[in-house]
Chains A and B, each alone.
Chain A
Amino acid sequence: MNLAIKDIRHNLGRFVLTSVGIGMLMMIVMGMSGIYRGIIEDATLLIDNIGADIWIVQHNTRGPFAELSRVPQNLIHRALAIPGVVTARNFVQHTIQRRNKGKRLRMTVVGLDWPIDKGKWVPLVSGRILNQNHYEMIADKSLDLRLGEKIKLGKNTYTVVGITSSMISSGGDGIGFFTVQDAIEIQFDTSGEAVRLERISRSVRVEKSDLGLKQPSLIEFASQESSQVPALASPQASSVILKLGPGANLKQVMNIIAGWEDVSVYTSEGERQLLLKGSVEKVRKQIGLFRILLTFISAIIMALILYTLTLDKLHSIALLKLIGASNWIVLKLILQQALILGILGYGIAYFLGQKIFPRFPRRVILSNDDLLQLAIIVLVISVVSSFLGIWKALQVNPNEALN
């Protein structure tokens, strides 16, 4: 006869409520690791999927995922000249916050070097990739934009032609994919008045200089569009990403680029690690510590619950001992209840997690490794937390049944 089951059956309501409580606590522990996994996954999804072997970034910076990086767009031509490089693409990334349909729209803008990169690697849920160099975008579904929807960013209006999912930046914002040209346009969007004022001030600067006095035509030239002024550099990209051909020597290509003094170079894995050790590292530590704390709290709460459950049964335990039950029978009763409580709590945590976590604003990923690790922790907690109850039960004297 399984005394643990019999006792649970008799106090089913209380036991179920206790299990639900433990389950919810465990769900938070489970969620913590899920949130951590989600952050890692979200942060690295872009790097893992974009299909780059090498990232060229601004000199002495750690790339667009760690800090601001600026490289000239024409860097791709230099990169393409290196033996073994198959493709070189400009990459632009920046975060914007605008209003759309009266609601806040916060989005990480990623520029794809169209037509080399039309976004074929972006996992689409619906719609299509970017078919033209302007005014189209692929939106992550967390941005709450619908297929065919038009949004105005700066002076231009962009049509959502594709919807993707799980494309989140390390900051937790949904990603919108545009062409590099559009992404730069969005980033450096300035009002008509600002453009006019800049042209005037440019002309004034030329007028004041000797050059303007010697060559008056320059004054007229300076008042033209920025793109028409050769002295002004075109807007810069965040980085240039390279894809190497089969058999290309990664180390050799890296060494060549490392010799250029205006840029820094990382492998895709290097950029990934920089990302993880940068913005994600503190989050990881914070969540890790919180998870450890919660695990301890769960163990203490479980120990107290099991101790209380044991206290309720002291008379029955004394009686069992009086009629000759061995300590093992008593120990088994408490240990089995602890394990049932732990397993049930774990099951409830998993079930509730499956229902609740998808509603979280950020992804909560329950990996099999994490679930297994938590299951082992729960088993250990269940056994350890039953020690207090077992100790109390073993102290019970059969005499106490007579009182």
Chain B
Amino acid sequence: MADKFAIQAEDLKKIYGSGNTEVAAMQHASMHVAYGEIVALLGPSGSGKSTFLTAVGLINPPTSGRIKIRGQLMLNGPQPMVDLKSIRRKYLGFVFQRSNLIPFLSARENVQIALEINGYSPQDSRKRALELLNELGMGDRADNFPSMLSGGQQQRVAISRALANQPVVILADEPTAALDSHLGRQVMELFRDLAHKHGTGVIIVTHDQRALDVFDAIYEMEDGIIELRQL
């Protein structure tokens, strides 16, 4: 590994609009997540959590600040230093509030497509997708379409997909919001176990205060500013 940290966000700032309509959605936001570390990002609605997540996910570049993955500079302000699409494909995994599976693909195919996009052969992709689904207890539902799965099962498939390319970082935006507390906790624990097992850095944006004990670090965000909460 090139660096101690899977991902580093340094002094991120995001300004929407200009002049009188200028709004700072994120200011001086910094976060360092080590390999195998699982961190929570808490905060009320509109505090800038999603802005932060899309910035470190290389989807919505910040106005200023720097983002490094595996120690390599990805974004210097809004300026991409590498092919962001390729980095997203290789190093990042995404899990969302709604499971966000592709409805016309089965559970296995939803995982498989992430691998094929990254250059794996269809045979290898299929094999690895089944392994991942088995690992997450979804092997017997591999051929089911998302509409045939419960919310928790869909999230497991989404996590399998996020893990498919052995990402350096998984970014999850309120992955338990649509689940009951029991299932929500199960999913959080799953993230923790996977982070520790695969050495993947995990950033989870959540409102759920009941499962905070699974996290290695907790950040709080308010008015675009991130602060580390002391555990």
Chain A contacts of B19 at CB under 8 A? Answer: none
> Is A316 interfacial (CB 8 A cutoff)?
yes
Contact of B104 among A316, A322, A323, A401 (CB under 8 A): A316
- Least distance between A213 CB and chain B CB atoms (Å): 104
- Please give the distance in Å from A306's CB to the nearest CB on chain B: 16
Asked whether A3 and B145 contact (CB < 8 A) given A10-B104, A323-B88, the answer is no
Given the interface pairs A3-B113, A320-B113, A326-B85, the reply to whether A399 lies near B161 with Cβ below 8 Å is no
Whether the pair A316, B102 counts as a contact (CB closer than 8 A) is: yes
CB-CB < 8 A to A313: which residues of B? Answer: 104
**Pick from B50, B86, B109, B114: contact of A402, CB under 8 Å:** B50
Let me know if A11 is at the binding interface, CB within 8 A. Answer: yes
A282 within 8 A of B: no
CB closest chain-A residue, reference B113 = A1
**B200 CB, nearest partner CB in chain A, Å:** 16
0 or 1 for each of B64-88: is its CB under 8 Å from A? (1 = yes): 0000000000000000000001101
Instruction: Choose from A9, A326, A399 the contact partner of B54 (Cβ within 8 Å).
Output: A399
Q: How far is the CA of A316 from the CA of B122 in the complex (A)?
A: 20
Given A320-B102, A321-B85, 20 more pairs with CB closer than 8 A? A1-B116, A6-B104, A7-B104, A11-B104, A315-B100, A316-B103, A316-B104, A320-B117, A322-B88, A323-B88, A323-B89, A323-B94, A323-B161, A324-B85, A325-B117, A398-B59, A399-B59, A399-B60, A401-B94, A402-B54
**Listed residue (B57, B86, B100) with the most chain A CB atoms within 10 angstroms of its CB:** B100
Q: Is A329 an interface residue (CB 8 A)?
A: yes
CA distance A9 to B104 in the complex (A): 8
Tally B residues with Cβ within 8 Å of A.
29
Q: List 17 A-B contacts (CB under 8 A).
A: A1-B109, A1-B125, A3-B104, A3-B105, A7-B104, A10-B105, A10-B145, A320-B113, A321-B85, A322-B57, A322-B94, A324-B88, A324-B118, A399-B54, A401-B94, A402-B59, A402-B173
Question: What's the nearest-Cβ distance from chain B to residue A398, in Å?
Answer: 5
A residues 1-32 touching B (CB-CB < 8 Å): 1, 3, 6-7, 9-11
Most buried by A among B59, B86, B90, B116: B59
**A323 and B117 contact, Cβ closer than 8 Å, known pairs A398-B59, A399-B54:** yes
Tell me, yes or no, whether A344 is within 8 Å of chain B by CB. no
Known: A324-B85, A398-B59, A402-B54. Contact between A1 and B145, CB under 8 A? no
Q: What mask results when residues 303 to 328 of chain A are scored 1 for a CB within 8 Å of chain B, else 0?
A: 00000000001011001111111100
- Contact between chains at B59 and A322 (CB < 8 Å): yes
Residues of A within 8 A of B (CB-CB), count: 23
Are B117 and A324 in contact, with the CB atoms below 8 A? yes
| Interface residues of B, Cβ cutoff 8 Å to A | 50, 54, 57, 59-60, 85-86, 88-90, 94, 96, 100, 102-105, 109, 112-114, 116-118, 122, 125, 145, 161, 173
- Give CA–CA (A6, B59) in the complex, Å: 27
A245-280 vs B, CB cutoff 8 Å, 1 = contact: the mask equals 000000000000000000000000000000000000
Task: Check B173 against A6 for contact (C-beta < 8 Å).
Answer: no
- A residues neighboring B (CB under 8 Å): 1, 3, 6-7, 9-11, 313, 315-316, 319-326, 329, 398-399, 401-402
Task: Name B112's closest neighbour in chain A (CB-CB).
Answer: A1
Residues from chain B with a CB closer than 8 A to the CB of A1 are 105, 109, 112-113, 116, 122, 125
In the complex, what residue of chain A is closest to B90 when comparing beta carbons?
A: A324
> Roughly how many angstroms separate A329 CA and B113 CA in the complex, as a whole number?
11
A-side binding surface: helix, strand, loop or mixed?
A: helix
For A319, what are the chain B residues with a Cβ–Cβ distance below 8 Å? 100, 102
- Smallest beta-carbon distance A18→chain B, Å: 15
In the assembled complex, which residues on chain B have CB atoms less than 8 Å from the CB atom of A3?
104-105, 113
What's the Cα separation between A325 and B94 when bound, in Å? 13
Q: Which residues of A contact B173 (CB under 8 A)?
A: 402
Residue of chain A at shortest CB distance from B126: A1
Output the least CB separation between B20 and chain A (Å). 25
- Nearest Cβ distance between residue B32 and chain A, in whole angstroms? 23
Closest 10 CB pairs of A and B: A324-B89, A10-B104, A7-B104, A316-B102, A324-B88, A325-B117, A398-B59, A323-B114, A6-B104, A324-B117
Complex Cα distance A10/B113, Å? Answer: 16
What CA separation (Å) do A167 and B227 show in the bound complex? 92
B104: chain A residues at CB < 8 Å are 3, 6-7, 9-11, 313, 316
Q: For the complex formed, measure the closest distance between the CB of A312 and the CB atoms of chain B, giving whole angstroms.
A: 10
Which A residues lie within 8 Å of B109 (CB)?
1, 6
Cross-chain contact B103 with A10 (CB below 8 angstroms) = yes
On chain B, the residues within 8 Å of A7 by CB distance are 104
Enumerate chain B residues within 8 angstroms of A325, measured Cβ to Cβ: 89, 113, 117
State in angstroms the CA–CA spacing of A128 and B32 once bound together.
Answer: 98
Shortest Cβ distance from residue A9 to the other chain B in the assembled complex, whole angstroms = 7
